[in-house]
Structure 1
Amino acid sequence: LNTINSSTGYSGFQLKTGHSPRIIPPLIPLVPNLDEVDDVNNALEVLRRLHDDIQEAKDNLLRAKVSQAEFANHHRRDEVVFATGDHVMLSTFHRRRDYLQKDDKRVAK
């Protein structure tokens, strides 16, 4: 987003607007906290929320994947299962042309 171009030494945002974008505010307060237990609890809470958010994102991706597969398969027919010994019809439309074409491996038509 705000990557500095090695040629110009400026980011695209800075060249377009004339200033760098604002810095994201810190996640924790800047006031020093002397209680180590509160620091540990705050860190654990941030990590727990981060873990929950990651798990929710994974669930959303899985839900989207299933939904996309459902819509993609909606107009497709069911898969035909063939067993050993079943008789099938094959399209040989191009086989005759392949046979008639001259090739280094063929002696005659």
Structure 2
Amino acid sequence: MNTVNASTGFSPFQLKTGRSPRLIPPLTPIPDDASADSITAHHIISRLQTDVQEAQDNLLAAKVRQAYHANEHRSPEERYEIGDLVMLSMTNRRRNYKRKGKKRVAK
């Protein structure tokens, strides 16, 4: 509920409600002059939008980091030119000739 996601940097509860849940009630008394209007709906919505945008930025940064680390150990990509001979694996296409219609694979 309150666990922060490593990729987004936010807890799901915070992204949904715009605040972190309080696990224990506040120990200080609430002042009498505090009103419900002190936090406006516009402020809450803008804070939610900011949190969601920051989470999306964090996800994009995590995606880039993961791609970088995954590609560190891969061999370089082979470049093929037009006319190069290649081997094609037909393991999953061995009965294509038995299909009816014009190479139909789905209804």
Bigger relative contact order (CA 8 A; separation at least 6): 2
State TM-score, norm by structure 1: 0.44
Rg: which structure is higher? Answer: 1
